[in-house]
């Protein structure tokens, strides 16, 4: 095509086709090179001096030099009948500067429409821009198959199909599809952006986020129904055509307005307390498995009098106890023929305290000195011997004093359900026998306020969560129970998730520590699978991950590292909860030996696994239950059958 003011031919360019070809080429290149938003195409039309961008889709470009024209500007007829003038207007090439009669803009040569019937000054004319004004209000947007037109130049109140909100402004609408309208603020949003720039650094992400014109329900399910990374709100599956910003490399999704508003949820990043006002504030999670709440409160540095006094009332054990110090580790005690070793998941050695049921990872500690035939695995942290004998005004049972008990009554082998965290436990308890209320020793010293790295800038207080509230860590429901909550942000955390999930764990098949993660890992290129159970893992729920080896573990499967088992669900697991919750038997110490007159061999208290098959008496499955397993024959029974067996 040729035009009056240019000597070279012009070629028609389809911008959307060019963009699709560029996308295909970029996908073949190294993904890591694309770490900044790409500039969108734009140039200036030689005739109207307005911007040419991809929304106009087509434009003409000179094949030999840098001249560009809108398609509608290049294709204007040489003679027109315009509503603003009674005579036909003819397109002429101008050799002098001139002023448009309508918009009064000065033009440097170029072309203009003139009326041959009227006497017009040589320095006057009508520019192409004023003639094609209606065509400029028509765009081709990649989100919609039909052209969109802005017919009303005055602001109107209307529903935007892009963001899903009703607001006032200028809208583009489709003349083919009824009720399809998009606000100008949304329709010209950038195709990619860095969220740290649009939110003034409140939120950050390594990669640019790309604009997506829908988020189908099937895709949401495939990505484990993610939440907005800014407001933590859900994406509505019934409004899947709403636009979003996303980074598919990192499974990072953001609502349209959240990605473009500097004020969105900024309060979460502003600290609402001063450290000097809370000198003893408990900051969770604990660094690793060597830490616990009793240790935090009652640990004493080694010294000549640190271990002088031990309360027999607290210990309450039938056999002699020996104090294992640093020199005793790895040596042989008086009666036990095996070496005394601390808890070590890397070597699959388990040693749990009978009071707090947390790992004993260092000396000093107390251990039963019974003979090997008695098979007693009793052990105590040294600091657990200093637990107070009673608690007053505990938030889980403030009406009565709770007394320390080494063996809680009314339970199967002293297993009770903690009133605060609702997990089964056979460790020491603070209990009220009259009300049958028992609280494990970790929950017994639960502070009224904490901070947690999953919600780091706000204090979390003990509150009763309302209806249908989710735990920020495990994403399971809190169920009107006492939990740690931030009322300002409507955020809640289970006590068990706060106390029992350390920041790092060790895995015998991975030489690096695995870190607690609350969100998908940046630049994680493969699907998420648990290294223990080999099942899919939802990265939007808390899990352990090794950055060096790209290995992940469900938080519930983490305690199975010692047993190398492949299943960890229990009968205490609610049907709607997944492996994103704390292991149900985290507060149960297995390995004790029991005898019954109705079976000739000793029975081991253990968690039921797939290899245990069915109960020898009632033939129901034993997997995921607390069971008694014979050490010498295939006999194994569940809790109910053991009770019936002892009554017969």
318-370 residue pLDDT tens: 788 888 886 665 555 445 445 678 888 777 788 899 999 999 988 888 888 87
Residue 623, pLDDT > 70, answer: yes
Residue 569, pLDDT > 80, answer: no
**Token digits of residue 190:** 């950038």
Per-residue model confidence (pLDDT) at position 515: 93
Nearest Cα residue to 76 out of 116, 135, 151: 135
Give the model's confidence band at 134: pLDDT under 50 very low, under 70 low, under 90 confident, else very high: low
Nearest Cα residue to 507 out of 288, 284, 287: 288
177: enclosing H helix or E strand: none
496: helix, strand or coil: helix
Asked whether the beta carbons of 19 and 54 are under 8 A apart, the reply is yes
218 Cβ neighbours under 8 A, 6+ residues apart: none
Per-residue model confidence (pLDDT) at position 441: 93
Give the lowest-confidence range in 133-147, 159-173, 276-290, 504-518.
Answer: 133-147
How many CA within 13 A on the CB side of residue 483?
A: 29
Give the model's confidence band at 269: pLDDT under 50 very low, under 70 low, under 90 confident, else very high: low
Q: What is the mean pLDDT of the chain?
A: 81
106-123 residue pLDDT tens: 887 778 888 878 766 667
Residue 21, pLDDT > 70, answer: no
**If you write DSSP's letter for every residue of 64-128 in order, what string do you get?**
SSS-EEEHHHHT--SEE--TT-SS-EEEEE-SS-EEETTT--EE-SSEEEE-SSS---TTEEB-H
Domain boundaries, the chain: 2-17+39-130, 138-188, 192-264, 592-646
Beta strands in 128-180 (DSSP E): 138-139, 148-149, 156-159, 166-169, 171-174
Write a three-state SS string for 582-595: CCCCCECCCCCEEE
* CA dist 99 → 106, 114, 129, 133 (Å): 5, 12, 12, 17
Q: How many CB atoms lie within 10 A of CB 195?
A: 23
Per-residue model confidence (pLDDT) at position 564: 43
Per-residue model confidence (pLDDT) at position 84: 64
Strand partners, 212: 244
Mean pLDDT, range 406-422, rounded to an integer? 84
Asked whether the beta carbons of 522 and 250 are under 8 A apart, the reply is yes
Per-residue model confidence (pLDDT) at position 305: 44
Per-residue model confidence (pLDDT) at position 32: 47
Write a three-state SS string for 301-338: CCCCCCCCCCCHHHHCCCCCEEEECHHHCCCECCCCCC
Which is higher by pLDDT, 466 or 164?
164
**Token digits of residue 423:** 């997990």
343: enclosing H helix or E strand: none
Q: What gap in Å lies between CA 470 and CA 28, rounded to an integer?
A: 41
321: enclosing H helix or E strand: strand 321-324
Residue length of the chain: 648
Per-residue model confidence (pLDDT) at position 36: 56
Q: What is the pTM of this model?
A: 0.75
Q: What gap in Å lies between CA 609 and CA 420, rounded to an integer?
A: 27
Residue 577, pLDDT > 50, answer: no
Q: What is the DSSP letter of 218?
A: H
Residue 571, pLDDT > 50, answer: no
56: helix, strand or coil: helix
């Amino acid at each position: 095509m040729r035009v009056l003011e240019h000597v070279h031919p012009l070629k028609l360019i389809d911008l959307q086709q060019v963009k699709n070809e560029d996308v295909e080429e970029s996908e073949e290149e190294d993904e890591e090179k694309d770490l900044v938003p790409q500039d969108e195409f734009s140039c200036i039309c030689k005739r109207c001096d307005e911007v040419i961008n991809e929304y106009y889709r087509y434009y003409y470009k000179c094949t030999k030099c840098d001249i560009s024209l809108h398609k509608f500007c290049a294709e204007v007829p040489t003679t027109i009948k315009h509503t603003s003038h009674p005579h036909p207007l003819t397109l002429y090439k101008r050799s002098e500067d001139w002023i448009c009669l309508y918009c009064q803009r000065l033009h440097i040569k170029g072309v203009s429409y003139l009326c041959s019937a009227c006497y017009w000054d040589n320095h006057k004319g009508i520019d192409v821009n004023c003639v094609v004004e209606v065509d400029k209000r028509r765009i081709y947007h990649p989100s919609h198959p039909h052209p969109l037109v802005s017919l009303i130049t005055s602001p109107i109140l209307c529903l935007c199909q892009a963001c899903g909100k009703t607001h006032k402004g200028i809208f583009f609408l489709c003349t083919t599809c009824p009720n399809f309208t998009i606000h100008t603020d949304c329709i010209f949003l950038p195709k990619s952006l860095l969220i740290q720039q649009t939110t003034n650094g409140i939120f950050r992400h390594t990669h640019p986020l790309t604009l997506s014109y829908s988020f189908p329900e099937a895709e949401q399910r495939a990505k484990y129904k993610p939440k907005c990374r800014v407001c933590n709100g859900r994406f509505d599956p019934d409004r899947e055509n709403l636009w979003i910003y996303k980074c598919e490399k990192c499974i990072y999704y953001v609502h349209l307005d959240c990605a473009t508003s500097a004020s969105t949820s900024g309060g979460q990043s502003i600290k609402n307390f001063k450290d000097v006002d809370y000198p003893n504030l408990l900051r969770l999670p604990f660094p690793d498995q060597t830490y616990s709440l009793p240790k935090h409160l009652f640990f004493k540095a080694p010294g000549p009098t640190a271990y002088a006094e031990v309360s027999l009332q607290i210990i309450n054990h039938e056999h002699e106890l020996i104090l294992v110090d640093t020199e005793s580790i790895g040596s042989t005690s008086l009666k036990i023929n095996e070496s005394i070793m601390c808890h070590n998941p890397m070597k699959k050695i388990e040693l749990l305290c009978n009071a707090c049921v947390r790992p004993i990872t260092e000396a000093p500690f107390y251990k039963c000195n019974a003979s090997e035939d008695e098979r007693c695995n009793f052990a105590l942290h040294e600091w657990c011997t200093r637990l107070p004998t009673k608690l007053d005004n505990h938030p889980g049972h403030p009406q009565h004093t709770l007394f320390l008990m080494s063996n809680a009554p009314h339970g199967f082998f002293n297993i009770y359900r903690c009133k605060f965290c609702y997990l089964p436990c056979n460790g020491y308890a603070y209990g009220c026998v009259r009300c049958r209320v028992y609280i494990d020793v970790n929950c017994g010293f639960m502070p009224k306020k904490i901070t947690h790295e999953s919600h780091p800038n706000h204090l979390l207080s003990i509150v009763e969560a309302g209806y249908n509230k989710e735990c920020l860590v495990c994403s399971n429901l809190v169920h009107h129970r006492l939990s740690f909550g931030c009322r300002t942000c409507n955020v809640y955390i289970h006590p068990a998730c706060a106390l029992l999930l350390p920041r790092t764990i060790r895995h015998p098949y991975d030489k690096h520590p695995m870190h607690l993660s609350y969100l998908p890992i940046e630049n994680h290129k493969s699907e998420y699978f648990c290294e223990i159970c080999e099942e899919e893992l939802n990265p939007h729920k808390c899990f352990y991950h090794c950055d060096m080896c790209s290995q992940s573990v469900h938080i519930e499967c983490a305690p199975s590292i010692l047993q190398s088992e492949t299943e960890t669900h229990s009968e205490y697991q609610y049907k709607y909860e997944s492996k994103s919750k704390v292991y149900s038997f985290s507060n149960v110490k297995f390995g004790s030996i029991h005898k019954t007159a109705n079976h000739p061999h000793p029975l081991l208290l253990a968690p039921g696994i797939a290899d245990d098959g069915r109960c020898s008496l009632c033939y129901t499955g034993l997997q995921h239950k607390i069971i008694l397993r014979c050490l010498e024959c295939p006999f194994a029974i569940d809790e109910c059958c053991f009770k019936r067996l002892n009554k017969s």
